[in-house]
């Protein structure tokens, strides 16, 4: 054995790991252009905390933070029973009207739950 302090094991950073994976044919990025009628916006999960008066806190989120999904940089992971993949969305051209579909309902094994989060729309 050589002398000197033991070295720490090197774990790849997420950016390094992603760069390595992109070298494989299986992980190559693909770009698909598609038209749309509306944008589906995902709400963050509502916290289960209560305030001092034992009343439920209704969280608020700015519209621009849930629109960040379409900035071309934010990645979202999608899982199916066969595979996992990452998607990025970018708006290249805006239509005359935008319709937002805010995803408030989530289904689990037992029931459908509504997310009460308030979405703040900018006035100006």
Residue matched to tokens 């509502």: 46
Nearest CA to 91 out of 72, 113, 110 is that of 72
**Confidence at residue 76, expressed as pLDDT on a 0 to 100 scale:** 78
- Domain range enclosing 66: 36-45+58-123
What would the two tokens of residue 70 be?
């379409």
With respect to residue 31, please indicate whether it lies within any of the assigned structural domains: no
With respect to residue 94, please indicate whether it lies within any of the assigned structural domains: yes
Nearest CA to 115 out of 69, 47, 39, 68 is that of 47
With respect to residue 92, please indicate whether it lies within any of the assigned structural domains: yes
**Confidence at residue 95, expressed as pLDDT on a 0 to 100 scale:** 83
Residues 6 or more apart from 98 whose CB is under 8 A from it? Answer: 38, 39
**Confidence at residue 27, expressed as pLDDT on a 0 to 100 scale:** 66
CB of 66 within 8 A of CB of 119? yes
**Confidence at residue 26, expressed as pLDDT on a 0 to 100 scale:** 65
**Confidence at residue 75, expressed as pLDDT on a 0 to 100 scale:** 80
With respect to residue 11, please indicate whether it lies within any of the assigned structural domains: no
**Confidence at residue 39, expressed as pLDDT on a 0 to 100 scale:** 87
With respect to residue 21, please indicate whether it lies within any of the assigned structural domains: no
The neighbouring-strand residues paired with 107 are 112
Domain count, the chain: 1
**Confidence at residue 123, expressed as pLDDT on a 0 to 100 scale:** 82
What is the chain's pLDDT, residue by residue, as a tens digit (124 residues)?
444 444 444 444 567 776 676 666 666 677 788 888 888 888 888 666 666 665 667 788 899 888 888 888 888 777 778 777 778 888 888 888 888 899 889 888 888 888 888 899 888 7
With respect to residue 6, please indicate whether it lies within any of the assigned structural domains: no
Q: What are phi and psi of 62, to 5 degrees?
A: -70, 145
With respect to residue 2, please indicate whether it lies within any of the assigned structural domains: no
- Give the Cα separation of 15 and 75 in Å (integer): 13
Q: What's this model's pTM, rounded to 2 decimal places?
A: 0.59
With respect to residue 104, please indicate whether it lies within any of the assigned structural domains: yes
Nearest CA to 41 out of 120, 109, 123, 110 is that of 120
């Amino acid at each position: 054995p050589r002398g000197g302090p033991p070295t720490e094991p090197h774990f790849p950073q997420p950016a390094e790991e992603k760069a390595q994976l992109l070298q494989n044919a299986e992980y190559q990025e693909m770009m698909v252009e598609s038209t749309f009628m509306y944008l589906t916006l995902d709400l963050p999960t509502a916290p289960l905390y209560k305030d001092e008066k034992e009343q439920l806190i209704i969280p608020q989120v700015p519209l621009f933070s849930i629109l960040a999904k379409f900035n071309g940089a934010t990645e979202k992971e999608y899982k199916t029973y066969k595979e996992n993949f990452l998607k990025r969305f970018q708006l290249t051209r805006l239509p005359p009207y935008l319709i937002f579909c805010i995803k408030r309902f989530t289904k689990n094994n037992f029931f459908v739950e509504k997310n009460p989060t308030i979405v703040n729309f900018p006035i100006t």
